[in-house]
Structures are given as structure tokens and as C-alpha cells.
Amino acid sequence: MQKIPIRRPKASRHHRMAALAVSGITLGCTAFSPAPAVLAQSPGNTPARTATSGPATPPSKGAEDAAGGDSVHRISGGDTLWALAEQLYGSGARWPDLYRANRESIEKAARAHGHPSGADGHRIFAGTAIHAPALEKTDKTTGKTAGETTGRTADGNTPAPADPHVARFERRLARSGYVSQSGSEAVFDLNRRYCEGTLFSGMWPNPQSPYIVTDLPEVPGQAANTNPPVTWRLREDEAVVLIGTTPPPEAYFSFDLTMVRGSLHTGPVLWPAVGDPVNNGTVRTNGPTPYGQPFALVITGHERTRTEVNEMLAAAGLGGAINNVTVPPAMFRLGLGEDADQFLLGIRTAAPEPGSEKALDAYRDAPPLQVLRVRPKGTSADGTKPVYAPDPLPVPRLRVAGTGATELDLNPALQLLRRRIIDAHPEFEARDVALERGFEQSYPGLQSDKVIDPPTPGIGALSNDADDPLSPSFDLPDGSFVVAYGTNHVATGQASYSSISLYADEEAAVSVAAKHHRDLRGSARDFIADQPHADKLYAWTFSRAGDAGPTGPHVTRLPSTGTDFCAQYGADRPVDMSRMQAVARAYMQPETLTHPALSSLLLDRLLVFTPKSASRSASASKPSSEPQSASEPKSASKSE
């Protein structure tokens, strides 16, 4: 039975958020109770059962092992296809398999309740019988089931289910004289790759946001990519198309295109962002929310190709969910020869909403995404030559950072927090370490060849959505600890996601520990509970002092300096665990949907504490008993 697509006017971000709060439609296709009683579910929760019409019907006999036989489940109020897929198959990302198997009954139920369609399975109703087809066992060697051609994770996890939009789009491609090649999406662990010798440096990865990257096949005849499997070249009239489902509810996600010039194996590399990323504040989807909805991403530098690909995606049912990303030929070298630039599409996912943690883990394990490289088919056997005449897209406008609002009025509270932290540890000697702008912005860095060569940060693959202040390297011996403190940039309204992360070895730059804005909430109250702005600041301890140092809920214990970091990956590449570095991240200001203006932020700070019995720091001196100015604080040896 053919689905009737829903036609909705494109709403503003604020209206979309309001609709999300009212509708209760979240990732995984929330079940509605029979009309007129409609289920309302908090957007921050995982799409699991909510008791609105009695307890959910348990799976029928045999559903415990859906891989061994078909089963039937009758929808109850609060059910979602994501939750059912997680229960039946062990992965919520398989919910499209349930929808495809039950499209006719889902659509029929939606029409019976006065809706034009089931919105591709995102609207289901209590009482509908759901047939759960058996899935083939996954081959542990290939990571694929018989007949599957979808992507899988780098570690061989279960492939993501096929998306019906992909099949419709591929049929349109064939009719329009285009050819396509399929790629895959998988998490790329920079720590692991460094330890295994694939990367010359970990380059300060965010441990709380494993990067999902795109692997694309090469075009026959092209110059070999220098960074397989993560980088690819782009023919002048070619497009890369990503079709699938957006991540579950979280503080921040983005689809970020970057250019990589140089070898990730040997370094150094020039690694700028290509324009603004598509993030959860700007993404266009087929649903009323940015989360868990069908969407498409089109990457190209050619106007005719973009127009034709957009028309084919619209015909495939994604007309309102197309997100265009421009690779401007004025700035980048398109083509498939040795002198052409190479690109990397990375997906950042950070800080799931409470209740969505398992959904995000499942999304990362088996991304419900399919990527294709598509191009007009020529008559020549050489696939590297453009078929269409040059039709370059112009450089798009960038989102403007900053609103004029700042955190600077919090500086007195920040200085008081510093003094209170020092006062709390009289047996230790304190030393200040200041964070500062560490990475150049992408387009200025591209023009001046600011390469990454740790400890030199260069452009650093820095997203245009982020400010990433960086500390110099510092020693953190066993028996010592470091307190990171500053403003919680989400609490002040300057960011949608912020964090503080520690890295080991100034050249390896591998991630050791991190805490994001939700973890940091309330931590400054340990020192300034009597201050009205306490909840806009944070203070988190990373310790190697054991029981002799700070303890409590706002302390992370670090591995000792003698720890073999790469042993966790079965590798023996050395990492100097005694040398540390910190990065503070602030992503996407809500009002501007891009990075905060750096001038509006109070920069995060560090206090490094060593036992007074140890050797005195060469830079130690008494701290002032008066509040410091907005400039960097003086070095501290003790508190008076």
C-alpha cells in the first residue's frame, strides 16, 4: 500500500522545539493511545513504554529470540518502534525493519485515526498488531547478514537497517542517468588508531563524543586516497549523499565536513572545516523534531548536480528534509587527481538527554545511515573526467557568532572560587595554568597553512560551531591533582554543549578523561555554596593523589604516570602519561546556532596541586588575597 506523505510547512527552530514538547513524537515512533486520548511524552526521555492504557502487552512466545523465528506484538499506549526493536532485536536502530514489515497496518491505523499517513512509522497507535520478522544471524567475520549491503561499525557490529528512502532514491538515479557507489558509516576511535600506529597523533579527540566517519569507495581510475578509509576526493560534478535518521535527543549533534591535506599517518596535516556544519539547531528533517527523523545531506560543489540530486531526493520522499553542504571550488581543489583535496565527513554526537543514553549507544554501534557517491554517467570508460560543464557553487555565507552578551560579570565570582579552591587544600602547593585560544579558525588557517603538528594545534579540525581553548602542557606527577574551574557555558547561555577534557603526552594528545556541562552542574557549590552565581560555575578535580587528595562526587581519579595507555587496545606504542594538557569546549550558542564569540567567554582555568613536601615549582609565589582582575591569575604557592 502506498504511503501518503505528510506535507508540513517548515517551522522555525523554536516552533519545532515547542511542537516536540507538545506532540510527544520522539525517536523510535511513539505509540498513540486510541483517539481522542493522545499520548504526551517528554522529549528528553527515551521512546520507551509509558503506561497510558494499561501495561504494555508482553511479546508473544518466541519473541525472546527474534533471530530464531517471527513473532507478533500488539502495540500498547507508550510503545515505540525503537523500544520494540531494542527489545526484539537488541538494537533500537533496527526500527525501520519493523516499519517495513508492518507498513500496511501502520498506515491503515493512522488513517483510521484521522491522519493522512503514519509518517514513515513515526506515528503508531495502540491496538495495532506488529509482526516482527526474524533477522538473519550476523556473520562475526564480515559483520554482515546474508544479502545485506549496508554499513557496519569498524569493530564488526551489526549493520544498520536499510532505509526505504535509499531504494527510492537509487531508482531515481538510475532513471536519470546517474551512477552511484555505496559507502559506510562507522565510529573512528582516534585513541585506538594512534595506539595502533595508524595516526601520527590522537589530535585531542573528545572522549565523550566518538566520531562517526564516512568510508567511501574510490572512483575507478582516480588517484589513490592518502588517508583511507576516512578521506575521499570529490569529482567536480559529483555529490556525496547521506540518507538516514538523525541521532536521538541530545545536547548537540552535527554533520561536519572537513578537508584533510597531508598524511594522517605521518603528519603534519592541514585540516580545516568546510563551512558551517549541519547541527541539531539547523538540520531539516521529515518530522517535527531534529531527533530520530528521516533526513538527507547533499555534499557537492556543482550547482547543476545539486539541483538534480535535490529533485531526485524530493521524489524519494525527502523534499522537506534535504540539507545542502557546499564545497566551494573557489576555496578547495575538486577533482580525482593527485593534486585534488581530500574530504572527511564526521558526525559528532554529545551529551544524550536523560533516558536517551541507550538509544545513542545503539546509534553509534550501528548508524542508521547510508552514504552514496553519485555522479552523471559519461560515455568514456574513464570515470574521473567530469560529464557536466563547470557550474561552481559560490562560497556560502557563514553563521555570525556572538550576541553581545558575555560572561564577564562573573569574573569576581570566578576569582573567589579560585581562592576557595586553594584554601581547601592547605597541604598542597598550587600553581595556575591558564587556557587560551589554541586553534585557528578554519578559513584564516587554510589561507595561512596552519598545520596540526602536536603540540602545535594549527587549525585542529576545529568545527565552526566551537570554541576550544587549550592549555599548555603541564606535569602532573603521582601524588598530585589538578582542579579545572570556570563558567559552565551552558548555564550562562553561551553554549548548547560544553566540556573540560584532559589529554596525555603533548605529541600523542590522546584523551584520558572528560566531563560535560551536565556532569559539572553543582560542582562549584563545593566551594562557593554561599554565592548567588554558584550554579553558573564549576570546579572539577582530576586526581593522582589517591586517598591523600580530594575525594567526593566531583573528583575523577586518573591512571598513574606509569600506566601503559595503549595496552587497553592491545598495542604497545608509548604515551607519556606524566605530561597533561586540557581542552575546554563550548559548542553552538542557542541564539546564533554557531560558536560563541570567544570574547564573550570567561576562559576556563586550571590549578595544579602538588604536595608541599615535594619540590617547589620554580614559578611558585603567594597568591593575592584580593580578587584578581579579568587577566590571567598570578601563580599560587599557598593561600593566606
Instruction: Give the residue among 416, 426, 425, 417 at the shortest CA–CA distance from 552.
Output: 425
pLDDT at position 48 = 31
pLDDT at position 218 = 94
Who wins on pLDDT, 34 or 123? 123
pLDDT at position 382 = 82
| Mean per-residue pLDDT, 65-85 | 67
pLDDT at position 566 = 97
Who wins on pLDDT, 35 or 32? 32
pLDDT at position 116 = 66
Residue 640 has pLDDT above 70, yes or no: no
DSSP strand pairing (124-125 vs 31-32): parallel
pLDDT at position 163 = 82
pLDDT at position 114 = 77
Q: Cα(108)–Cα(115) distance, rounded to whole angstroms? A: 10
The secondary structure of 198-232 as a DSSP string is: SSS---S--TTSPEEEEE-PPPTTPPPPSSTTT-B
pLDDT at position 94 = 67
Write the secondary structure of 317-367 as one string of H (helix), E (strand) and C (coil).
HHHHHEEEEECCCCCCCCECCCCCCEEEEEEEEEEECCCCHHHHHHHHHCC
pLDDT at position 108 = 86
Who wins on pLDDT, 18 or 548? 548
Who wins on pLDDT, 141 or 437? 437
How sure is the predictor about 153, in pLDDT bands with cuts at 50, 70 and 90? very low
Least confident of 46-50, 63-67, 291-295, 345-349: 46-50
How sure is the predictor about 379, in pLDDT bands with cuts at 50, 70 and 90? confident
Distance of CA 488 to the CA centre of its chain: 20
pLDDT at position 101 = 83
pLDDT at position 162 = 63
DSSP strand pairing (322-326 vs 294-300): parallel
| Mean per-residue pLDDT, 601-626 | 71
Mean pLDDT of all residues in the chain? 82
How sure is the predictor about 112, in pLDDT bands with cuts at 50, 70 and 90? confident
Paired strand residues for 278: 255
Q: What angle separates helix 357-365 from helix 81-89, to the nearest 10 degrees?
A: 60
pLDDT per residue as tens digits for the range 418-477 = 999 999 999 999 999 999 998 999 999 999 999 999 999 998 767 999 999 999 999 999
**Segment (H or E) for 256:** strand 250-262
pLDDT per residue as tens digits for the range 511-538 = 999 999 999 999 999 999 999 999 999 9
pLDDT per residue as tens digits for the range 225-263 = 999 889 999 999 999 999 999 999 999 999 999 999 999
pLDDT at position 93 = 58
pLDDT per residue as tens digits for the range 571-580 = 999 999 999 9
Q: Please tell me what DSSP assigns to residue 49.
A: -
| Mean per-residue pLDDT, 313-320 | 96
pTM: 0.74
pLDDT per residue as tens digits for the range 160-188 = 556 889 999 999 999 999 999 999 999 99
How sure is the predictor about 134, in pLDDT bands with cuts at 50, 70 and 90? low
- Cβ atoms of 78 and 41 within 8 Å: the answer is yes
- Please state whether 561 falls in left (phi above 0), alpha (psi between -120 and 50) or beta: alpha
Paired strand residues for 346: 213, 256
pLDDT at position 90 = 62
pLDDT at position 95 = 72
pLDDT per residue as tens digits for the range 262-312 = 999 999 999 999 999 999 999 999 999 999 999 999 999 999 999 999 999
How sure is the predictor about 403, in pLDDT bands with cuts at 50, 70 and 90? very high
- Cβ atoms of 457 and 490 within 8 Å: the answer is no
pLDDT at position 278 = 98
How sure is the predictor about 100, in pLDDT bands with cuts at 50, 70 and 90? confident
| Mean per-residue pLDDT, 8-24 | 35
Residue 70 has pLDDT above 90, yes or no: no
Write the secondary structure of 265-326 as one string of H (helix), E (strand) and C (coil).
CCCCEECCECCCCEECCCCCCCCCCCCCCEEEEEEECEHHHHHHHHHHHHHHHHHHHEEEEE
pLDDT per residue as tens digits for the range 463-512 = 999 999 999 999 999 999 999 999 999 999 999 999 999 999 999 999 99
Instruction: Give the residue among 198, 202, 204, 203 at the shortest CA–CA distance from 226.
Output: 198
Task: For residue 54, count CB atoms less than 10 angstroms from its CB and return exposed for 0-12, middle for 13-18, buried for 19 or more.
Answer: exposed
- Cβ atoms of 235 and 384 within 8 Å: the answer is yes
